[in-house]
């Protein structure tokens, strides 16, 4: 049995004060939720505050990005050691916005995963195709390449895969549950090639316009083990409803 994994990606949103306000509402709303991994990924500037506020709760902390070196002359970057030190359990790696705007390649993603894992930082690896790639029927090729290069030489523990079709991110266009299930089943098949039976242990989560309205039907899919939520994670009410998804058949 895989534990459902529900993660909030705040992107470049929320000041320290707004982080505090969110958590003051959110923590009591999810206090009684058990059997679910709840993760928030605030911007770097809010990590210390969030770490202090969630201490002793059932909420875990993630960063939105990490650099692929331990330390040194890399102005503006943050290392996995610094993230673990501040209380992060995970880092998102390879988000499509980083691939698109900051030219992150699969090889860079692989290096980041490698060093994150060496440091004891869990990884939320984002993969997914663009609309153009989907329309050209290249979805599975893209997913295969991102997994093959991204996970090259990486052991299976402490990795969550987030399938995030780029055409669904921030657009209000969610993948239909059948589309999500098809992609997630494909991803698990690929993981079986690299990891054998350990492929069953991976949480494969869906991201792309997840809301309180569509989370239940997505979570009903066999291979959808959770969600990475952007826009709908910015309000405590809405993200807490997502965390408290109901399993529909």
Q: Which residues bind ligand PEP (CB under 6 A)?
A: 9, 164, 169-170, 207-210, 228-232
95 is catalytic: yes
Closest separation between CB of residue 105 and ligand PEP, Å?
A: 19
Q: Where are the alpha helices (DSSP H) in the chain?
A: 16-30, 47-54, 80-86, 96-101, 106-118, 131-135, 139-150, 177-195, 215-219, 236-243
Q: Of 95, 97, 129, 184, which is the active-site residue?
A: 95
Q: Which is nearer to ligand PEP, 9 or 110 (CB)?
A: 9
Closest separation between CB of residue 100 and ligand PEP, Å?
A: 11
CA dihedral 212, 128, 204, 185 (to 10 degrees): 110
Q: Which is nearer to ligand PEP, 195 or 223 (CB)?
A: 223
Q: In whole angstroms, give the CA distance from residue 202 to residue 125.
A: 11
103 is catalytic: no
DSSP string, 51-87: HHHHTTSSEEEEES---SSSSSS-TT---HHHHHHHT
Closest separation between CB of residue 118 and ligand PEP, Å?
A: 25
Q: Of 53, 97, 129, 164, which is the active-site residue?
A: 164
Closest separation between CB of residue 213 and ligand PEP, Å?
A: 13
Question: In 10 A of CB 226, how many CB atoms?
Answer: 30
Coil/strand/helix, residue 92: strand
Q: Which is nearer to ligand PEP, 39 or 81 (CB)?
A: 39
Q: Which is nearer to ligand PEP, 81 or 162 (CB)?
A: 162
Active site residues: 95, 164
């Amino acid at each position: 049995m895989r534990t459902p994994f529900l993660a909030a990606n705040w992107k470049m949103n929320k000041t320290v004060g707004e982080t505090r306000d969110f958590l003051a509402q959110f923590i009591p709303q999810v206090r009684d939720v058990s059997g679910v991994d709840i993760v928030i990924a605030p911007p770097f500037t809010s990590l210390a505050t969030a770490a202090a506020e969630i201490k002793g709760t059932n909420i875990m902390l993630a960063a939105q990005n990490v650099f692929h070196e331990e330390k040194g002359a890399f102005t503006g970057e943050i290392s996995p050691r610094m993230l673990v030190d501040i209380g992060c359990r995970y880092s998102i790696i390879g988000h499509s916005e980083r691939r698109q705007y900051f030219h992150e390649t699969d090889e860079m993603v692989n290096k980041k995963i490698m060093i994150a894992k060496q440091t004891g930082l869990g990884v939320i690896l984002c993969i997914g195709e663009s609309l153009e790639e989907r329309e050209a029927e290249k979805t599975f090729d893209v997913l295969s390449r991102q997994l093959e290069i991204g996970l090259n030489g990486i052991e299976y523990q402490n990795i969550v895969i987030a399938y995030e079709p780029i055409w669904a991110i921030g657009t209000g266009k969610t993948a239909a549950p059948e589309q999500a299930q098809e992609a997630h089943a494909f991803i698990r098949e690929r993981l079986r090639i690299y990891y054998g039976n350990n492929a069953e242990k991976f949480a494969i989560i869906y991201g792309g316009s997840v809301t309180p309205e569509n989370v239940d039907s997505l979570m009903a899919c066999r291979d959808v083990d959770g969600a990475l939520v952007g826009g709908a994670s910015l309000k405590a009410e809405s993200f807490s409803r997502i965390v408290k998804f109901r399993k529909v058949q």
